[in-house]
């Protein structure tokens, strides 16, 4: 007799939100997995399926019943279970009655913590088909749905109205009610190709029947792969290459159940528009895939993915061509209007747009950026006049018609409009690079002007928002300051900009009208940035103790911090590292008890043991060797060189009593160790390294 069966769950709905379809499906799978584990039902695997009109799970080899469980109920302690005549007390009688047995059937449990009467029994496992409806309902209620809907006269809430529900356990459809919806014994195919009911005889044939009879590809990843293959093929047949944005590909796969891809054309006259505008129009407005030639130039083509297999595909093609024409015409209007109006003309209009009610307008922010970038530019040898111009213009494109229509083109359109007005290339590029990196892993500004402008903007946001008490809390970060902080640190480190973070914060804070308020938050912002730096290096694969070894010596220049971190990570691979880390930890503990030793010089006449004499001599030699390495930020070589002290340090601790009874000798030996400790601290505190 079979002990397991496959389970199919299909929730049929009105069209689900495409941008969250995949996350809903994976969350449904995860929640159902948790629910099954909670009730201790075993299974082999869970496969999720998702289309615009359904969320489905196929759970293979699911136990048909819960396992029987041993259960023990503890009753009164033996000290009160019986009276002096060994007759059961009322507590014992009541306990036995609640268990449905006689007192004589109770057992005794004795342990080091005491002794009690207990009742041992076997709890019979429930049948799986009795449990499934409750598990499914709990899983659906736990889905991460930002905004739930109600429909009809139902008091039910879900992401979209539920149209049908199929629960098939083995070859039997369960007759149940979930979220107020009664289950049915059938599935349904494509809305147009096969709107009628489809009989599913077993869970394993679900995918094939939906495909062959229902014109539905239920496997999300299979559908996405098919769409990608179709797009590549269509582009190749038209002597081009498709631009496939991963986010758009996901969205399109979430919009269709039976994908059919085809080529469309638009008037080549529209190619006079910036490439980014055409791509944004096709991708954002129409969900089309642009096509480029071998020279990476846009072709007057687009690829559309339809959700229907038409007998007259040409008619659908012409319909889409008619739709895109007015969209591109609008873009031409925006482009020509913005060129006529000019970028600088928006500068004064920034005074009318509130950036944040406590921090003023966009104009106020741009004025702060002019001041901050000017001060940074002096240190970075920037052309100050160009830097000021870039800072003054960097927010102006936010008020253009094109950016109002396509917000993601902010910066990009600033570059185009600045060049059209005759600004030099450095200024134009800086306007676009202001927003980089836009997301994790995004490209960084390439020009020094762009890097400094981006740094100025991000540090201004951090100081400003912290100064008005709106710092991120928990998972709430409405101003995306964590992203700004990581972006700031990435630019400084990966673009190799040697700048002091505390100086940078002070520079930015001095640009605010309320200086006392902005200056007061510098320490908080610095701590916030260092915590982000910790996360950054964790993601880069550096261990926590390696980070702590550099963090402990208060390095406020992120690029310098990076060089030290890399050096410590390499040092840790040396055979001497473990012993030296332990020795430094021992030295730190000794010095903590004698903090005044730091200011005492080593007295040669108090060096009496051979091991301490040798260590003192080596120490002086190494100071001369290490100094130029530290000056040149060659920390890796410095630590490698210091590893040569392992033997002499080991000998010192083996042969010299540091905390001896003679005060002068003890102070001198502690001074020796303090000097040694300081030498290592020139790079990092390696005592923080773990075994």
Rounded-to-integer distance, Cα 479 and Cα 358, Å: 14
Q: What is the mean pLDDT of residues 327-348?
A: 96
Distances (CA, A) of 181 to 35, 148, 202, 686: 20, 16, 22, 63
Average pLDDT over the chain reads 92
Nearby residues of 531 by Cβ (< 8 Å), 6 or more positions away: none
Name which residue leads in pLDDT, 575 or 504: 504
Q: What is the pLDDT of residues 380-431, one digit of tens each?
A: 889 999 999 999 999 999 999 999 999 999 999 999 999 999 999 999 999 9
- What pLDDT is recorded for position 596? 57
**Structural element, H or E, at residue 356:** strand 354-356
Query: 204 - beta bridge partners?
Result: none
User: How does DSSP classify residue 116?
Assistant: E
Pairing of strands 162-169, 4-13: antiparallel
Q: Give me 425's structure tokens.
A: 């290339």
Confidence at residue 86, expressed as pLDDT on a 0 to 100 scale: 83
* pLDDT higher at 374 or 68: 374
Classify burial at 600, counting beta carbons within 10 Å of its beta carbon; exposed 0-12, middle 13-18, buried 19 or more. middle
Is 607 exposed, middle or buried (CB count within 10 Å of its CB: 0-12, 13-18, 19+)?
A: buried
Peptide bond into 437 cis (omega under 30): yes
What is the pLDDT at residue 595?
61
Which residues is 186 bridged to in the sheet?
A: 199
- Provide the CB-side half-sphere exposure for 394 (13 A, CA): 34
Q: What is the DSSP secondary structure assignment for residue 238, as one 8-state letter?
A: T
What's the residue count for the chain? 691
Whether the predicted pLDDT of 2 surpasses 70: no
Domains in the chain, CATH or no CATH each: 4-66+127-212 (3.30.70), 71-123 (no CATH), 220-325 (no CATH), 348-541 (1.10.3210), 573-688 (1.10.730.10)
pLDDT in tens, 72-82: 788 888 877 88
Please answer whether residues 530 and 548 qualify as being in contact, where contact means their C-beta atoms are separated by less than 8 angstroms: no
What percentage of the chain has pLDDT greater than the value 70?
A: 99
Q: pLDDT tens digit string along 180-226?
A: 899 999 999 999 999 999 999 999 999 999 999 999 999 999 999 99
Q: Using 50, 70 and 90 to split pLDDT, how confident is the model at 597?
A: low
* Average confidence (pLDDT) over 272-283: 97
User: What pLDDT does residue 274 have?
Assistant: 97
Within 10 A of 360 (CB to CB), how many other CB atoms are there?
A: 17
CB 619 within 8 A of CB 675: yes
Would you state the pLDDT for residue 124?
82
Is 60's pLDDT higher than 60? Answer: yes
Does 22 have pLDDT greater than 60? Answer: yes
Indicate the range of 153-157, 493-497, 558-562 predicted with least confidence. Answer: 153-157
10 Å CB burial of residue 251 (0-12, 13-18, 19+) is middle
- Give the contacts of 132 (CB within 8 A, at least 6 positions apart): 7, 167, 169, 174, 176
| Mean pLDDT of the 438-461 span | 95
Strand residues in 393-533 grouped as ranges (E): none
Do residues 122 and 70 touch, judged by C-beta distance below 8 A?
yes
H helices within 113-212, ranges in order? 128-141, 206-212
Res 12: pLDDT: 97
Question: Where is 518: in which H helix or E strand?
Answer: helix 515-520
- Residues 635 and 563 sit within 8 Å (Cβ to Cβ): yes
What are the distances in angstroms from CA 90 to CA 82, 100, 104, 172, 368? 9, 15, 14, 51, 82
* Separation of alpha carbons 80 and 89, rounded Å: 7
């Amino acid at each position: 007799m079979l002990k397991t069966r496959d389970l199919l769950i299909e929730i049929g709905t009105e069209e689900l939100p495409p941008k969250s379809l995949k996350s809903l499906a994976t969350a449904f799978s995860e929640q159902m997995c948790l629910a099954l584990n909670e009730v201790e039902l075993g299974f082999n695997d869970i496969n999720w399926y998702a289309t615009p009109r359904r969320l489905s799970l196929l759970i293979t080899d699911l136990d048909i019943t819960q396992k029987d469980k041993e259960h023990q109920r503890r009753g009164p302690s033996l000290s009160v279970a019986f009276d002096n005549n060994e007759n059961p007390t009322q507590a014992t009688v009541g306990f036995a009655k609640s268990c449905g047995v006689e007192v004589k059937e109770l057992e005794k449990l004795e342990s080091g913590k005491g002794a009690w009467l207990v009742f041992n029994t076997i709890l019979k496992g429930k049948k799986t088909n009795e449990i499934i409806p409750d598990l499914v309902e709990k899983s659906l209620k736990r889905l991460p749905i930002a905004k739930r809907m109600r429909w009809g006269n139902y008091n039910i809430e879900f992401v979209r109205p539920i149209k049908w529900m199929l629960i098939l356990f083995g070859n039997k459809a369960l007759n149940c009610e979930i979220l107020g919806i009664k289950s049915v014994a059938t599935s349904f195919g494509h809305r147009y190709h096969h709107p009628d009911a489809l009989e599913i005889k077993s869970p394993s044939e679900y995918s094939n029947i939906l495909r062959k009879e229902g014109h539905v590809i239920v496997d999300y990843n299979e559908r996405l792969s098919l769409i990608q293959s179709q797009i590549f093929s269509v582009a190749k047949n038209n002597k081009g290459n498709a631009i496939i944005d991963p986010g758009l590909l996901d969205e399109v796969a979430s919009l269709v159940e039976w994908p059919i891809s085809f080529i469309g054309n638009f008037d080549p006259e529209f190619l006079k528009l910036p490439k980014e505008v055409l791509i944004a129009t096709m991708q954002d407005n129409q969900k089309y895939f642009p096509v480029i030639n071998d020279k990476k130039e846009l072709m007057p083509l687009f690829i559309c993915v339809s959700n229907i297999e038409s007998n007259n595909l040409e008619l659908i093609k012409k319909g889409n061509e008619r739709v895109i024409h007015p969209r591109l015409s609008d873009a031409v209007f925006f482009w020509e209007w913005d060129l006529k109006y000019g970028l600088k003309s928006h500068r004064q209009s920034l005074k009318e747009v509130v950036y944040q009610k406590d921090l003023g307008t966009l104009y106020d922010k741009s004025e702060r950026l002019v001041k901050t970038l000017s001060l940074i530019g002096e240190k970075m040898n920037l052309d100050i006049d160009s830097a000021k111009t870039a800072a003054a213009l960097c927010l102006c494109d936010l008020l253009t018609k094109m950016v109002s229509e396509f917000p993601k083109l902010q910066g990009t359109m600033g570059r185009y409009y600045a060049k059209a007005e005759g600004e030099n290339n450095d200024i134009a590029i800086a306007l676009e690079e202001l927003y980089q990196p836009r997301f994790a892993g995004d490209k960084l500004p390439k020009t020094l002007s762009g890097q400094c402008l981006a740094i100025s903007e991000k540090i201004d946001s951090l100081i400003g928002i912290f100064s008005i008490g709106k710092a991120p809390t928990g998972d709430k970060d409405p101003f995306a300051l964590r992203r700004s902080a990581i972006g700031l640190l990435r630019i400084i480190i990966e673009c190799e900009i040697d700048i002091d973070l505390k100086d940078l914060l002070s520079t930015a804070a001095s640009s605010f009208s309320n200086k006392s308020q902005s200056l007061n938050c510098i320490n908080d912002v610095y701590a916030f940035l260092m915590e982000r730096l910790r996360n950054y290096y964790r993601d880069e694969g550096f261990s926590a103790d390696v980070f702590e070894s550099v963090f402990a010596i208060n390095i406020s220049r992120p690029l310098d911090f990076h060089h030290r971190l890399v050096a410590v990570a390499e040092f840790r691979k040396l055979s001497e590292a473990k012993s030296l880390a332990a020795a430094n930890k021992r030295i730190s503990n000794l010095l903590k008890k004698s903090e005044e030793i730091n200011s005492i010089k080593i007295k040669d006449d108090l060096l009496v043991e051979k091991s301490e004499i040798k260590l003192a001599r080596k120490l002086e030699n190494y100071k001369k060797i290490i100094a130029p390495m530290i000056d040149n930020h060659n920390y890796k070589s410095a630590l490698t060189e210091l590893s040569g002290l392992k033997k002499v340090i080991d000998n010192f601790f083996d042969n010299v009593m540091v905390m001896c009874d003679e005060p002068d000798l003890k102070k001198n030996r502690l001074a020796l160790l303090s000097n040694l400790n300081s030498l290592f601290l020139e790079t990092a505190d390696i005592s923080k390294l773990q075994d």
